[in-house]
Amino acid sequence: MAAGAVGGPVLNLPSVPVGNAACAICGDRATGKHYGAASCDGCKGFFRRSVRKNHQYTCRLMRKCQIDKDKRNQCRYCRLRKCFRAGMKKEAVQNERDRINNRPPSNENQTENSGPSMEDLLMAARHIGMLELVNPKEDVDPSTKRIAGLNDVCDSMKEQLLILIEWAKCIKEFDTLPLDDKVALLRAHAGEHLLLGLARRSQIHKLTDVLLLGNDCIIMRNYPEGSNQQDLDISKVGVRVMDELVEPLKKIKIDDTEFACLKAIVFFDPNAKGLSNSETIRTLRKNIQIKLENYISDYRCHLTGHFGDILLLLPALQSISWQMIEQIQFVKLFGMAHIDNLLQEIFFGTTSEVNDTITSIPISNTAPGSYMSSNESPTSPLTPANTGNLSPQTDQMPVMILRDLAPNQDFRFFKQEPSIEPETSF
C-alpha cells in the first residue's frame, strides 16, 4: 500500500477522546479519534509511520486478511487498507507535520535515518548465530551433553568474547568509532553480553534447570552429590541466570528483534569509562531505544508494559555479571583454571604477560559502566576501598583487542540490504 503524494484540502483532525470505544481497525481499546477514526495507539502509530515514510506493502493472501487485535501484525497491506476504510486521512498526518514544522524535531523523526536500523541489528545477531557451535534450530537433549567444568566455562567465555567482537564489527556505527572508544565499549559490559547470550541460548532451546554454553557443555541447577566446590560455585551463578534471566525472557516472550535491540542498548553505554565522546554514544543508545519503543507499539502493543519488562532485565543482568567477574578473579588469584589473555584484558585490563599480580575488578558505577541509579555498588571482599597498587592498568591499550578490532572485510557482506520484491500499491 503506497501512501503517496498528499493532495486535496488539508484537514485538521486532532486526536479526541472516544470513551470506551473499540479501535475501528483491530478492535482493541481505542485511545481516541486519531486522523479521523477511533483507534488504538498501535494502529495510530502504524498509520502515521506508513504515511510519513511512504511505505509500500504487499499482501500474500488475496488481500482478504483478518485484522484484529491478535492478527493485526500479520499483514501490513490489509491493515493499512482497513485504516483508510475506517476513515483515517493521510492529509491529517501531513497537517500534523505542518503544525509542528517549526518545533524541534520529534524523537521519531530524529531516529528515522540515524543510528543502526532494526535490520542492521538483526543481521548482526544472525551473523553471530552462524558463528555459534550450537545450532539454534536443533533440539537439545541435556542428557547427551557434558557437564561443564571450570575450564569449560572459561573456554566458552573466551569464544563468546570473540563472537562479541565480531558482532560489534557488524554495526557500522561501532566500526567508525576511535579505537579507544571501541575498547571502552567492549570492556564496559562484556560480562552482561556473555550472560545475555547464555540466557537467550537456553531460552530458545526451551531448557529447564539447565544452561547451554556456547561450546555445547551444560551447567545444571542441581549438580550430582559429591561434586567439587568449583562446580558448586559455577552452579550458584547458573541458578541466578536461570531464575533472573532465562525465566523472565520466557515470560515476556522476547523476540529476535527485541533481543537484538536489548543487546545494543546494553552495549552502547555512554557512561563507559574511557570514552572520548560520550554524547555520540548516548545519542546512539537513545535512537535504538526509541526504535524499540516504536517496534513494540506497532507489533507487540497487546503485551501491556512490554517495553518496561524488557528494561527491567538490566539490574539483574548487571548484578549477576558482577558476581561472575568476582568468581573469575577468584579463579585467577588461586590458579584454579587457565584464564585466557583475552578474558584478562577485557575484565581486568591486564594480561598474564604484562601483569601477573592480583588485580581488583572495577565493579562500581564509575567503571566501566552501570545501569543502576544508585551511587553505591554492592560491597565485596574483592573490591576494597583502597586498592593501592592493585588497580588494573585500564588506561593501557590491550594488544590482543586491538588486533581483533582491525578492519575485517570478511564480515562486510552482512551489511548488504536484503532484496525486496516488487511492491504493489493501491
Same-domain pairing of 264 and 318? yes
Identify the domain containing residue 39 by its residue range: 32-92
| pLDDT higher at 249 or 96 | 249
Domain CATH code at residue 48: 3.30.50.10
Task: Determine which helix (DSSP H) or strand (DSSP E) holds 99, and give its type and residue range.
Answer: helix 90-99
Q: What share of the chain in percent tops pLDDT 90?
A: 36
pLDDT in tens, 90-142: 888 877 655 545 555 555 555 455 788 888 998 988 887 776 666 666 778 88
Write down the pLDDT at residue 281. 95
Q: Is residue 171 part of a domain?
A: yes
Write down the pLDDT at residue 297. 80
Contact 329, 348 (CB under 8 A): yes
pLDDT in tens, 37-63: 999 888 988 998 888 888 888 888 888
Q: Is residue 46 part of a domain?
A: yes
Same-domain pairing of 45 and 175? no
Maximum distance among all alpha carbons in the chain?
80
Q: Is residue 218 part of a domain?
A: yes
Write down the pLDDT at residue 272. 93
Q: In whole angstroms, what is the distance from residue 286 CA to residue 327 CA?
A: 33
Domain CATH code at residue 158: 1.10.565.10
pLDDT in tens, 305-330: 899 999 999 999 999 999 999 988 88
Same-domain pairing of 85 and 149? no
pTM tops 0.75: no
| Radius of gyration from C-alpha coordinates of the chain | 25
Contact 163, 124 (CB under 8 A): no
Same-domain pairing of 218 and 178? yes
Q: In whole angstroms, what is the distance from residue 239 CA to residue 202 CA?
A: 12
**E strands in 85-209:** none
Q: Is residue 9 part of a domain?
A: no
Contact 42, 48 (CB under 8 A): no
Same-domain pairing of 157 and 301? yes
Q: Give me the residues paired with residue 211 across strands.
A: 219
Domain count, the chain: 2
Return the C-alpha cell found at 411: 564480515
Write down the pLDDT at residue 344. 86
Same-domain pairing of 220 and 344? yes
Q: Is residue 105 part of a domain?
A: no
Please tell me what DSSP assigns to residue 245: I
Q: Is residue 204 part of a domain?
A: yes
Domain end (from 348, 375, 409): 348
Same-domain pairing of 181 and 64? no
Return the C-alpha cell found at 423: 511492491
Please tell me what DSSP assigns to residue 209: S
Contact 214, 129 (CB under 8 A): no
Q: Is residue 86 part of a domain?
A: yes
**Which residue type, as a one-letter code, is found at position 188?**
A
Picking from 278, 294, 279, the residue whose alpha carbon sits closest to that of residue 106 is 294
Q: In whole angstroms, what is the distance from residue 281 CA to residue 172 CA?
A: 13
Same-domain pairing of 266 and 176? yes
| pLDDT higher at 171 or 423 | 171
Contact 344, 332 (CB under 8 A): yes
Q: In whole angstroms, what is the distance from residue 83 CA to residue 24 CA?
A: 8
Same-domain pairing of 80 and 188? no
